[in-house]
Amino acid sequence: MENIERVFSRIEENREDMIALQELLTGIPAIAPQSEGKGEWEKAEALTTWLKKLGVTNINMINALDDRVPAGKRPNIIATIPGEDETRNFWIMTHIDVVPPGELSLWNSDPFKMTRENGKLIGRGVEDNQQSLVASVYAVTSILQEGLKPKYTVKLMFVSDEETGSDFGIKFLLDNYDLFKKEDLILVPDGGRSDGTLVEVAEKSILWLKFRTTGKQCHASMPHLGINAFVAASKLVLKLNGLNEEFNRKNEIFDPPYSTFCPTKKENNVPNINSIPGEDIFYLDCRILPSYDLDDVMKRIGELAGEVEKEYGVSVEIETIQRESSPPTPEDSKLVKSLIRAIKLVYAVDARPRGIGGGTVGAHLRKRGFDTVVWSKIEETAHMPNEYCIVDNMVGDCKVMAEIMLRG
């Protein structure tokens, strides 16, 4: 039998063990202190013990200090499995933490007691991100059990704090350690589609802005004595809403393939109907193709605000709430090609590189110049009540990871 076939049948034999690891991990809630949780320590210890039992013994634990949790630290685990070619690493990064269960009455079972039903596992965290975490563990384990060696050195990375900003997880690691090399392959299996064809290589830049328009409050029966901030702001809303006509480039890897500029949230102004509002606050959500320089966008927005200031005699203050951009991973990079090959072999579908609207953890790595690909075959039940994982997806994703570990 060919090596890959041996590994695939070994993975099938490990199916029940994978489910057992899911059950163990689901039973230990790893919730951030911001959500009144105790952090990831206990779950990380259980995972480490399991890895050692499987013969994965080269484990490095990097802790970020955090006195809000009982352990006083947030764990980040790196397990290293040497490959034939040690000059390059194949990283698979998953996260240990989970979001709170939310409204318990919406769950059909205890969120922290995994249940099984028609090929599905149900519980908080089973899909986000344990499906991929367990798949990565058993991809490398199955290779070792067959007495084989991965092509490149495999680094399984299990991080904390993905759900609440990554300050104690991947951002902490990137700020304080030199872990990655430019030529490394980095897979973040924490996003994707139910058919497994979405290989995410790029994100739109995110720009969230707050606009405070100041005029002059007065009685609504005497509008000439005041300056209506709401009216001026409304004019600005319409100008901003038309920005996509100016910044109108297209890139078909994204859906939609153009930049979006959406006025969204609006704060209350005056509580009563008979006052002219002297202040108005609204927000803008922009998702901009990475080929645009955000400074150019900001400059144009500043000009539009200036036009409204002039026309209405108001002042407009613009505050940046969030600004994120990261360079795309090339569509022909090594990991993209390997993934497309492995997905075809395992799932018999043609995957392709795509861009998304923004906000995944992969951007932290891309921002530092490391090519990163986000992929998994998921049902997208993350953060929902009755979150579930399809066992066949977990096993299939495990095979995709193992194929890349073996063949590079």
Cite the active site residues. Answer: 97, 162
Round to whole Å and give the CA distance between 284 and 240.
8
Shortest distance, position 108 Cβ to Zn ion, whole Å: 22
Three-state SS for 112-124 is CCCEEECCEEECC
Would you say how long the chain is, in residues?
Answer: 408
94 binds Zn ion per the rule CB under 5 A = no
- Minimum distance, C-beta of residue 196 to Zn ion, in the bound complex (Å): 17
| One-letter amino acid for residue 330 of the chain | P
Would you call 352 exposed, middle or buried from its count of C-beta atoms within 10 A (0-12, 13-18, 19+)?
Answer: middle
φ, ψ of residue 206 to 5 degrees: the values are -110, 130
Q: How far is the CB of 236 from Zn ion (least distance, A)?
A: 36
Minimum distance from CB of 90 to Zn ion (Å)? 20
CB 191 within 8 A of CB 356: yes
Of 125 and 215, which CB lies nearer to Zn ion in the complex structure? 125
CB count in 10 Å sphere of residue 68? 13
Residues within window 116-135 making contact with Zn ion, judged by CB under 5 A? 128-129
Q: Which is nearer to Zn ion, 200 or 280 (CB)?
A: 200
Rank residues 91 and 152 by Cβ distance to Zn ion and give the closer one.
Answer: 91
* Beta carbon nearer to Zn ion, 284 or 378: 378
Which parts of 198-237 interact with Zn ion (CB under 5 A)?
none
Q: Which of residues 340-369 bind Zn ion (CB under 5 A)?
A: none
Tell me, residue by residue from 166 to 205, as one string, x for binding to Zn ion by CB under 5 A and - for no binding.
Answer: ------------------------x---------------
152 touches 88 (CB < 8 A): yes
User: Residue 208's beta-bridge partner residues?
Assistant: 285, 322
User: Nearer Cβ to Zn ion, position 124 or 334?
Assistant: 124
Q: From CA 17, how far away is CA 109, in angstroms rounded?
A: 22
- Torsion angle (degrees, nearest 10) of CA 381, 387, 392, 396: 50
Q: Please report the DSSP string for 232-299 in residue order.
A: HHHHHHHHHHTHHHHS--B-TTBSSSB-EEEEEEE----SSTTEE-SEEEEEEEEEE-TTS-HHHHHH
CB within 8 A of 155, min separation 6: which ones?
Answer: 78, 79, 80, 81, 89, 90, 91, 92, 179
Q: How many residues bind Zn ion (CB under 5 A)?
A: 3
Q: How far is the CB of 219 from Zn ion (least distance, A)?
A: 52
Q: Which of residues 62-81 bind Zn ion (CB under 5 A)?
A: none
| Residues with Cβ within 8 Å of residue 267, at least 6 apart in sequence | 280, 281, 282
Residue 374 CB, nearest approach to Zn ion (Å): 10
Residue 280 touching Zn ion (CB under 5 A): no
Question: Which residue, chain included where needed, has tokens 């969120």?
Answer: 111
Minimum Å gap between C-beta 10 and Zn ion is 27
Tokens representing 301 are 């927005």
Q: Toward Zn ion, which CB reaches closer, 14 or 22?
A: 22
Question: Based on CB atoms, which residue is closest to Zn ion, 286 or 394?
Answer: 394
* Residues of the shown chain interacting with Zn ion in the complex, contacts defined by CB under 5 A: 128-129, 190
